[in-house]
A and B are shown apart, each in its own frame.
Chain A
Amino acid sequence: MTERRNLYVKLACSVLATFLLSFIFSWCLHDGLSKHDAYELIDRTFKNVQDELTDCINERLVRVCMAVRETLEEGYPDDPRSLQTLANEMRVTEISIADNAGDIIRSSVADYLATDARPAFNFAEAGGEAANMMCLVDGSDTEYCQPFRNNAVNNNWRKFVGVWRHAGGFFEIGCDAKALQSLTRSTCVDLFRNWHVGGTGGIVVTTATGLVLSDYEEPNREGSQWIEPDDTFYWKRMEIETFPVYVMIPKGSAAVQRDVLVGSTAILNGAALVFVALLVGFVISAFVRQQMHAQAAKELEMAKSIQLSALPNVFPPFPDENRFDIWASMETAKEVGGDFYDFYFTSKDRVLFLIADVSGKGVPAAMFMMRAKTLITSAAHTGKPLSQAFAEANDALCEGNASNTFVTAWAGELNTKTGRVTFVNAGHNHPVLIREDGKAEFLKTRPSLALGAMAGVPYATNEIQLEPGDEIYLYTDGITEQPDANGELYGDAQLLKTISSCGRYWRKTLLDAVLADVRRHAGNVEQADDCTQLIMRYRGEPFTVTREYAPNMEGLERAATDLAAALEDVPEKLRNRLLVAADEIFANIVNYSGATHWTLSVELTRHPQGVRLVFADDGKPFDPLVRRDPDITLSAQERTVGGLGILIVKKTMSPVTYKRREGMNILTMGTDYES
């Protein structure tokens, strides 16, 4: 889980970093763009401003020039001084008159007039801007305005304006900066008041001395001293016809577009990144979940195999045993619960059988189960009393048990001679005691604490006397706590009812019957926990007669007679089976084994009744059970009688076992029957 949280934190951080990067990048980009745009706009505006301002000035000066023409054509003293007087009157700097050839014939400026040393100034010959005035001579224009410029003749800055002359040629006035400004400043006032540049920007025109003529922002400021804009503006200054003109855009205004763009980009980027992050997160978490599923399934398999490998699963576990029977089964749930059972001899006449249930599930439960099983087994094997074995196992389990896992267990030790069962209950479900007549009841004693819960606690021993035929049924809570669709548990009462209804069935039949009833109860509800059961039946000590016989036909005949007498009370059908099977073994021993001694033990058990025949001979080692069965499908001509005897034994006897022990072949066979 921590790994996953880290993953999400990393993902969120990288998303945030990407977002910031993209934000900064787009901000810088749009900031640069907006600046560029602003200056482009300013440049464009200047072109218009220049056109407009120049037009206004020209118009004004043309009118002045026309007034000069009027005055001169009405007749005005023809000398340079009077021309200068007129210029002064008209508030222009100089006045000149040119003829059709472009020669200045009269002028207030002596530099332009012819002297002995040089000819008069000729517009056509002067070239450049001056030559443009010739348009007034050829009649293609009636007026012409030059821009404010440096006059090459006397190196003075002038703006010349000409109008055509009725007598041919043209009149020209020239204005220096001061004259220009004084003549035209009134036309500039408020000229650009309604001009807006880029939303909140505008145009300011001032006089050469910096007095405001036209201010887009504060018309009332006209005439006040102009202060150049600070760096909160994108702005440019340009002199147009001597007038300083400022085109300016507040940065804030220019930035609006940038902000809108950056903002919307940021929102879109953010949304896209969040979407991508969610998608990536989803894909990763799906992948991780899948990995975890696979991992969990693997662990589950491992836990199951640990659990199952630890349990004895061959039944009957002691085929030669006729003093008791044990049968167990475990139905594992989807998730391993850590149940286990076990049984083993602690001495020749004592058998220990136990069932246990580890708290928790999965691999930890399975591992704990292994530990618990080993500890209990090793403690019990030392021959210590069960209570002490449990106490020692408990102390060992408590050591380093950080997870506080515990295990409930019920263990009993049967004395096969007396039928007494000594048992310890460490917090486990009460077993069911099934008497020989089929009556079932819970074997209730005050339970001790579960193993692994607390170190140093004592484990009380209890005893119960079994009569031949009595059974003890052990189970885990997977049986009694299996819920149905309504959440109702299977319960103790139903368990007892099912067991009681089984009558004299036992072992696997009873275990299967209980499991089937639990399943019926569960219906469609999944199995909640491991369902583990174990049943032990005490049969009592058998009545045993062992006799030795000679390894010949005489001995065989005596053995057959003795056996027939011993089996007198056995039902006929079973008795015949036993006699036939015994005859096959007799024949093998006498005819083929090369034995010098052989014995037959006849063991008769009660509750249930049964017979075990044990053949022991000192002949050559021979395990009849590994021999291959003869082919019984052949025709009469092909058939031989070899191997038929063993086939008959294997088919009619259960169990049949062979052992080679201390130089003897020991073959045990038998059968059980209900009285």
Chain B
Amino acid sequence: MKVEAKQEGSKLTLSVSGRIDTVTAPAFEAELKFGDATQVVLDLAEVPYMSSAGLRLLLTAHKTMLASGGELLIANVQPSVREVLDITGFSGILNLV
């Protein structure tokens, strides 16, 4: 899996590609660094599916951003990922755009 970061002022866009599961989660976690960005966009357009290992990271990131007064936006969610978010109720917690 790969993560490409793009900073525009206080807005940080992280474009993720590849599955997020137990195998790839450690690498993904290592890339989830937001610096002083107040708005982080996670672009999941290239993520075919995600297991609960990924959900844990998303929840942690979301809570971190909330605590620092910023926001985490999840963009371009694919159907399989969306299904998992719906099943687990995460689509009601995270900011999906």
A-side interface residues toward B, CB under 8 Å?
Answer: 553, 556-557, 560, 572-573, 576-577, 579-580, 583-584, 586-587, 590, 632-633, 635-637, 639-641, 644-645, 647-648, 651-652
Q: Is the CB of A648 within 8 A of B53?
A: no
Q: Is the CB of B51 within 8 A of A648?
A: yes
Given A587-B22, A636-B63, also A645-B52 (CB < 8 A): yes
Q: Give 30 A-B contacts (CB < 8 Å), ordered by A residue.
A: A553-B22, A560-B22, A572-B80, A573-B79, A576-B48, A576-B80, A577-B80, A577-B83, A579-B19, A579-B21, A579-B49, A580-B50, A580-B51, A583-B21, A583-B23, A584-B51, A586-B22, A587-B52, A632-B89, A633-B89, A633-B92, A636-B62, A636-B93, A637-B66, A641-B52, A641-B55, A641-B56, A644-B88, A645-B51, A645-B52
Q: How far is the CA of A586 from the CA of B62 in the complex (A)?
A: 26
Q: Which residues of chain A have C-beta atoms less than 8 A from B66's C-beta?
A: 636-637
Judged by DSSP, the binding face of A is helix
B59 within 8 A of A: yes
B87 within 8 A of A: yes
Q: How far is the CA of A382 from the CA of B91 in the complex (A)?
A: 56
Q: Mark B65-97, 1 if CB is under 8 A from A, else 0.
A: 010000000000001100110011100111000
Q: Which residues of chain A have C-beta atoms less than 8 A from B49's C-beta?
A: 576-577, 579-580
Q: Which residues of chain A have C-beta atoms less than 8 A from B53's C-beta?
A: 583, 587
Q: In the complex, given contacts A560-B22, A579-B19, what are 8 additional A-B residue pairs having Cβ atoms less than 8 angstroms apart? A: A580-B84, A586-B22, A587-B22, A587-B52, A632-B88, A633-B89, A644-B88, A647-B87
Q: Mark B11-55, 1 if CB is under 8 A from A, else 0.
A: 000000001011100000000000000000000000011111101
Q: Is the CB of A553 within 8 A of B23?
A: yes
Q: Is the CB of B87 within 8 A of A652?
A: yes
Q: How far is the CA of A572 from the CA of B49 in the complex (A)?
A: 10
CB nearest neighbor in A for B26: A553
Q: How far is the CA of A553 from the CA of B79 in the complex (A)?
A: 28
B-side interface residues toward A, CB under 8 Å?
Answer: 19, 21-23, 48-53, 55-56, 59, 62-63, 66, 79-80, 83-84, 87-89, 92-94
Q: Is the CB of A648 within 8 A of B52?
A: yes
Q: Which residues of chain A have C-beta atoms less than 8 A from B21's C-beta?
A: 560, 579-580, 583
Q: Which residues of chain B have C-beta atoms less than 8 A from A584's C-beta?
A: 51-52
Q: Which residues of chain B have C-beta atoms less than 8 A from A636's C-beta?
A: 59, 62-63, 66, 93-94
Given A580-B50, A641-B52, also A557-B84 (CB < 8 A): no
Q: Which residues of chain B have C-beta atoms less than 8 A from A637's C-beta?
A: 63, 66
Q: How far is the CA of A635 from the CA of B56 in the complex (A)?
A: 14
Q: Which residues of chain B have C-beta atoms less than 8 A from A641's C-beta?
A: 52, 55-56, 59
CB nearest neighbor in B for A578: B49
CB nearest neighbor in A for B72: A636
Ranked nearest first, the 4 interchain pairs of A and B with the lowest CB-CB distance are A632-B89, A576-B80, A641-B56, A576-B49
CB nearest neighbor in A for B78: A576
Q: How far is the CA of A165 from the CA of B95 in the complex (A)?
A: 161
